[in-house]
Copies of this chain bind each other. A is one copy, B any other.
């Protein structure tokens, strides 16, 4: 676990699981998992990561920010593609190592760099992956 200067760690299991304070358990790389779900359709759009700064910016601005592991930097989704994600709701899981955001993608409405609406465009069927959006 990494200690964040923005979000203090939970004092105990009760605070972690039932508390009103957001106290994410950042992993050894300082990250929590982030799942983006379409606010209107419920479709899972993407899976990414947030560091403390990205989470704080997401909460403060209402626009999804992530941490790019490949670029090792803060990532305001859509800054170049136009696929900004307006956050309508943010949830955190029981042990506070995963965040679920409900979003409305802007621009062309997509989220995936390959060109699909969702990153989960391949489904397992009869022993192979088939490209088919939900």
Max chain B Cβ within 10 angstroms of own Cβ: one of A122, A128, A134: A122
Give the total of A residues in contact with B, Cβ under 8 Å: 40
The answer to whether A19 and B113 touch across the interface, beta carbons within 8 angstroms, is: no
- Enumerate chain B residues within 8 angstroms of A124, measured Cβ to Cβ: 22, 59, 89-92
> What residue in chain B is nearest A132 (Cβ atoms)?
B91
Copies in the complex: 2
A98 at the interface (CB under 8 A from B): yes
A11 at the interface (CB under 8 A from B): no
The answer to whether A94 and B123 touch across the interface, beta carbons within 8 angstroms, is: no
* Docked complex Cα distance between A124 and B22 (Å): 8
Known: A94-B112, A94-B113. A47 touches B35 (CB 8 A): yes
- Enumerate chain B residues within 8 angstroms of A46, measured Cβ to Cβ: 93
Which chain A residues in 96-134 approach chain B with CB under 8 Å?
Answer: 97-98, 100, 112-114, 116, 119-124, 128-131, 134
Known: A44-B35, A98-B47, A124-B59. A119 touches B90 (CB 8 A): no
> What residue in chain B is nearest A95 (Cβ atoms)?
B119
Partner among B19, B35, B43, B128 whose Cβ is within 8 Å of the Cβ of A129: B19
- Enumerate chain B residues within 8 angstroms of A97, measured Cβ to Cβ: 47
A86 at the interface (CB under 8 A from B): no
